[in-house]
Structure 1
Amino acid sequence: MDTQKLIQEQVTGNSVVLYMKGSPQFPQCGFSATVAQVLKLCGVKDYFSVNVLADADIRQGIKEYANWPTIPQLYVKGEFVGGCDIVREMYESGELQQLLAEAGVVVQS
């Protein structure tokens, strides 16, 4: 399967997708660990994660897909949210929690 097509299916077929180095349980870089932690803090328990270190085509392809040069990359409901800094800033402002609640991914308390 074409890498771009595979990425498209992953992004659109799952409510929350995180392209990261490593896994949520064992992140392989600090930025990936931060985004995984932020999702946990937001109450997102179940999301689709892709370890870009396991697949060079995906690792390069995801950068082209969003036209974004760095990993991690967070997608919610098929939309590119951002990388580590953007996700952290959105979390601190409450914007990320609102986005996730509107997407029906978490229930606001």
Structure 2
Amino acid sequence: MPEESLKIPAAFPVQLLISPVQKREKNAFRVAGVAILRCILGLTVMSIFSTVDQFSKKNPAFTKGGLRALIFNEHTNGLAQSGAILRIGRKVLISESKFFAWVESQNQGGSK
């Protein structure tokens, strides 16, 4: 198995200090460490896409009509800039992670 190298940013707060005794353990830790860092840095994160109908069934707080209204006004409400909406032909897909990040960004503090 070829050894992979991964550059870690200088400001990265986590350091992996692993000193196994045996050579095979060291190699296993190295491979696992690279996989963990890739996940932490977002290098292998895949977006989960759903149609409007699928999204509203998974998340009943968002009705189909409400989602369609948000999508219709995506250029004025900031949803387009978030990258949460993907169009393939006539099909409209919602990236769940980006949509919920956009929802969180809309929070204006609420009541205390």
The TM-score normalised by the length of structure 1 is: 0.26
Select the structure that is richer in strand.
1
The TM-score normalised by the length of structure 2 is: 0.26
Q: Which has the larger radius of gyration?
A: 2
